[in-house]
Amino acid sequence: MKKVILLLSPLLLLLACKSTEQIVPNGAATHASIKPKQRSSFDDSWMRSKIDSALKANNIPALSVGVISDGELWLYDGFGLKKREGEAAADEHTLYQIGSQTKMLTGIIVNRLVLERKLDLDASIVTYLPGVFNNQTREKLHAVTLRNLLQHKAGLPGIAPSDHRIDGDPMLVPYTELDLLKDLDELELAFAPGTDFSYSNMGYALVGYICERVSGQKYETLLQEYVAKPYQLTNTTTELAVHQQELLATPYRKDARNIETKPFIMGKLTSAGGVYSSVADLSRLMAAQLEAYRMLGQTEEQSPLVLTDSATPDKKEYGFGLVRNVDERGVRYGHGGDLDGFASSYVFVPEHNVGLLLLTSSGGRWFGALEKELVIKLVAEAKQAKNKSVTTR
C-alpha cells in the first residue's frame, strides 16, 4: 500500500507516539510527547514518476525511498516487490543491506567512544591493540592513527588481501579476526599515513575491531547502544531476527537482474559494509543529523552525528564515514553503498533542509543517476519555496 506522511516534524521522527526519547547533542535522552501537525499540500507525483520510470527501464525489483523537505519527512514509501514473482510489496519498512553506508554508523560509534574518552583520534592505533602485533608490525603501523583510518589516509588496501570474493558474487565466507591480523602482518602500506587518500574497506574493518577491543563489546552491541537505541532505529542491525528476515528484500545481481544473489556475510568487515536497515529507520537518523548540521556553531557541544568537521581536504572531503561535496546541488553530505545486489544512497543538504534516502535490491549506475536527478529537483523546489516565502512577506 502506497503511503505519504503528512508533515511529521523532525522532532516527531525522534519521538515515539506517547513516551519517547528526544536526542540531544551529547547523546543523552529526555522524554516528551508530541502530536503530529497537518501539512497543507504538496505534490510528490514528479518523484513517483521518476522512480517508476527508472525501475521499469532498468528492470529493478524493489526500491524504498525516504524524503525530508523543510526538515520534515514528507514521503517514505516502497516500489516493486520484495521478491520477484512474490506478492509482498516493498515499503518503508523493507530491509536492505546498506553496504558502505555502514561506515557512517561506524563513525557515529567512534564519536561516542571519543566522547567517553575511550578513544583518541590522533593516538597510534597500536596503543589500542596491546599484545596483538609482533615488533615488526607494531613499527609498521605505529604512525597510523584512528583519524587516518576513518579518512582513508592510512595506506591500507581497499580490498583486504584475505577477501577472495569474486566481483559480482556475494561474500559468503566471513572475514575473520585471524584474517585481519594476518593481513596487517603481511601487507605493506601503500603510502606514509596521512599523506594521501585511498578508499579502504579494510581500514574500516580495523576501525570496528579497535572499537570492539577498547569497549569489550561486539560491533552489533555497539551499534545498538550508540546508534539504534538512541535514535530509535528498530530494524537497524547486523544480525537479523526471524521477524526481520521476513522484512528483507531479496537481492538480485546488478549484472543479471533476474538472478537472485544473497546478502553478504562479512565477519570483521561488517563495520565497513554489513549493516541492514530500512528507510523508516534511516529517515529518523537523517532528521536528527540534518538538525545537528544546521545547529553547527550555535551550540558549544558538538553532536556525535557531525562526522565531517575535520574532513580531509584533498580528493573527496571524507570525514568519519560521511563525505562533503560541493556542486550544483549545493554543499551536501552523504554516503552510499553497493554490495553487487543491494545498494543504498543517503544524501542531505543542510542549507536547504532537504534529504533523500534510497535503498534498492539491485544496484548499478542507474542508481547514482536517479539519486542525482532527485536531489537536484529537491534542492530546486526548496529554493523556489524559500524565494516565494521571501516575496510574500
pLDDT in tens, 316-375: 689 999 999 887 777 899 999 999 999 999 999 999 999 999 999 999 999 999 999 999
Is position 72 within any domain?
yes
Residue 3 lies in a domain: no
* pLDDT at residue 6, rounded to an integer: 32
Buried b (16+ CB within 10 A) or exposed e, 11-27: bbbbbeeeebbebebeb
> What's the pLDDT tens digit per position in 178-215?
999 999 999 999 999 999 999 999 999 999 999 999 99
Question: pLDDT above 70 covers what percent of the chain?
Answer: 86
For residue 45, count CB atoms less than 10 angstroms from its CB and return exposed for 0-12, middle for 13-18, buried for 19 or more: exposed
Tell me whether residue 4 is in a domain. Answer: no
Is residue 214, in this structure, part of any structural domain at all?
yes
**Angle between helices 102-115 and 201-215 in degrees, nearest 10:** 40
Task: Give the range with max mean pLDDT: 7-11, 42-46, 63-67, 375-379.
Answer: 63-67
Question: Can you tell me the distance from the alpha carbon of 360 to that of 385, in angstroms, rounded to the nearest whole number?
Answer: 30
pLDDT (tens digit, 9 = 90+) per residue, 250-292?
A: 999 999 999 999 999 999 999 999 999 999 999 999 999 999 9
For the chain, what's the residue count? 393
- For 271, the domain range is 10-391
Q: Give the pLDDT score at 314.
A: 59
pLDDT band at residue 297, thresholds of 50, 70 and 90?
confident
Residue 5 lies in a domain: no
- 85 φψ region: left (φ > 0), alpha (ψ -120 to 50), beta (else): left
For residue range 45-69, list pLDDT tens digits in order: 899 999 999 999 999 999 999 999 8
133-137, 144-148, 330-334: range with lowest mean pLDDT: 330-334
**Structural domain contains residue 28:** yes
Cell 528507510, residue located: 279
Q: Is residue 307 part of a domain?
A: yes
The reply to whether 383 falls in a domain is yes
Q: Once rounded to an integer, what is the mean pLDDT over residues 154-161?
A: 96
**Residue 24 pLDDT exceeds 70:** no
End-to-end C-alpha distance for the chain, whole angstroms: 39
How many domains, in total, are found in the chain?
Answer: 1
* CATH number of domain containing 73: 3.40.710.10
